[in-house]
Amino acid sequence: MFAFSSPLFWYKMVFVAEILVSEGLATYTLQKKPHFALRVVLSVLSCEIAAFLYPLFDFSYNAVYSSFMFLILFALTLVALKACYDEPWINIIFCGIIAYTTQHIAYETYNMLVTAMGLQSFGNVYDLLGEVNYNGFTFACWFGSYGFIYWFIWAFICYRIRRQEDLKIDNLQLLGFPA
């Protein structure tokens, strides 16, 4: 359960932190509930503790289990958003999907950079025996990738949300595939 030597064990907590930052950028203008700061602190702590306690088994390193794990952790962050914001679920889910997509694009951009440069990094996180090699340069690649992608999405996508006084989703097809 607590495989401290596993890169996936630690990455699930990094993933939650990345999602929470992205969700913060996508939702910061939404209607906040009373005691917002306290709610945010408790939500972040709850999500990180849940990620720490989420079990890993020998079969955890297959696509189905990993996908299920990330889906559960994402759903938990949506519940945390709902605890912090006085918004309908449809708005929370919409902003959450924007945030998850942003995080995933940043993750893939980072992996592409370190792979193109011949460095080992989060690419081994799904390998049971993989070693992860972190150094100042890989951190700079991570920070640059995530910083640029998060800024880009915030500036060009979330800007449209911020311009509206009230986020109102009328078309439920926005949350799924077009019919």
pLDDT in tens, 74-117: 999 999 999 999 999 988 998 999 999 999 999 999 888 887 87
Q: What is the pLDDT of residue 132?
A: 52
C-alpha span between 22 and 36 (Å, rounded)? 17
Q: What is the pLDDT of residue 164?
A: 58
Closest CA to 14 of 95, 76, 70: 70
**Domain coordinates in residue numbering, the chain:** 7-174
Instruction: With a cut of 50, say whether residue 177 has pLDDT above it.
Output: no
Q: Which two tokens stand for residue 174?
A: 């926005």
Q: Beta partners for 85?
A: 32
C-alpha span between 164 and 94 (Å, rounded)? 15
Main-chain phi, psi angles of 32, to 5 degrees: -90, 150
Segment 122-127 mean pLDDT? 47
Q: Sorting pLDDT into bands at 50, 70 and 90, what band is 73?
A: very high
- Count of beta carbons in the 10 Å neighbourhood of residue 137: 12
Closest CA to 170 of 114, 91, 115: 91
Q: What angle do CA 164, 165, 171 make, to 5 degrees?
A: 55
Q: What is the pLDDT of residue 66?
A: 85
